[in-house]
Structure 1
């Protein structure tokens, strides 16, 4: 079953990932309507916990972020961030970037993930500058894949990237990406995650990065 929505989540906690009860959480998330897969995220430097999820419909993704996930955050006693994205809108752009969410296979396991979101309103997504940016992104050191993201209702543009090393992920997030957003004259949001510590939890959730 193909995805029609992506969800990004992050809990405002600071806990080494081996202290996160991911087995119990996985068992519960697997029962959520329309859930397809999840890639767990562990914040580099701050040990936040979160994920990138695929859902079969936007409706089920919205149910997840308005029902289940706030309750999970409440159980931890922490604040939380969620975003819902239209996966259909970014199909062509993501396939062009070797996105595993659209069927690509990686020869190298990711060592780091980067999440980005730019404070722009681009609807429809296809009117945006992805055709200009993709060739430049493909030249970034260590980039394995990117899934483009288009914010539901907001039209924000962003992405979920896989890198071969934390060093290359940091170089991208700290050095390259600010030049891209400067050209767009827009504020932005970036996060770097250590992919090595979440591999087992992500495999258990059918993460396409380990398919």
Structure 2
């Protein structure tokens, strides 16, 4: 069953196009993570928050990625990361136009 992961953490920039440039390399590596299907990058400059909404093919792969990402973010000094896991209701999600297919590198 696909698992959606929402991660948020404090972030003071860069934002928008500058964020896209700064994190492009990181974004490219995520595509190779086991079980990764897709990610929506999110940012809220007013609240100084950033993060993402990820879709993985299983809870096991989602949890492995979160553990790795927590460690990586701690290396950048980010330790206050909020993480939530959700199982995806495929029939209803598909009815509402969600694509549950893997990302293309």
Class of the TM-score when normalised by the shorter of the 2 chains: 0.7 to 0.9
Task: Calculate the aligned-residue CA RMSD, in Å.
Answer: 2.6
Residues 39 and 76 from structure 1, CA distance in 2 versus in 1: closer, same or farther, beyond 3 angstroms? same
The aligned length equals 100
- Aligned partners of 1:26, 1:11: CA distance in 2, in Å? 17
Deviation at 1:19? Answer: 3.7
Deviation at 1:25? Answer: 1.1
- Aligned partners of 1:43, 1:74: CA distance in 2, in Å? 20
- Aligned partners of 1:51, 1:9: CA distance in 2, in Å? 5
Deviation at 1:44? Answer: 4.8
Deviation at 1:46? Answer: 2.4
For the pair shown, the structure with the greater C-alpha radius of gyration is 1
Task: Tell me the residue number matched to 1:70.
Answer: 70
Task: Tell me the residue number matched to 2:12.
Answer: 14
Gaps of 5+ in 1: 104-204
- Aligned partners of 2:99, 2:6: CA distance in 1, in Å? 14
Residues 14 and 99 from structure 1, CA distance in 2 versus in 1: closer, same or farther, beyond 3 angstroms? farther
Question: 4+ runs of 1 displaced by more than 6 Å?
Answer: none
Deviation at 1:72? Answer: 2.5
Gaps of 5+ in 2: none
Deviation at 1:102? Answer: 4.9
Cα offsets for 1:147-184 (capped at 9, x unmatched): xxxxxxxxxxxxxxxxxxxxxxxxxxxxxxxxxxxxxx
Deviation at 1:29? Answer: 1.4
Task: Tell me the residue number matched to 1:4.
Answer: 2
Name the TM-score, length of structure 2 as normaliser: 0.76
Name the TM-score, length of structure 1 as normaliser: 0.41
Structure number with greater CO (CA < 8 Å, separation at least 6) is 2
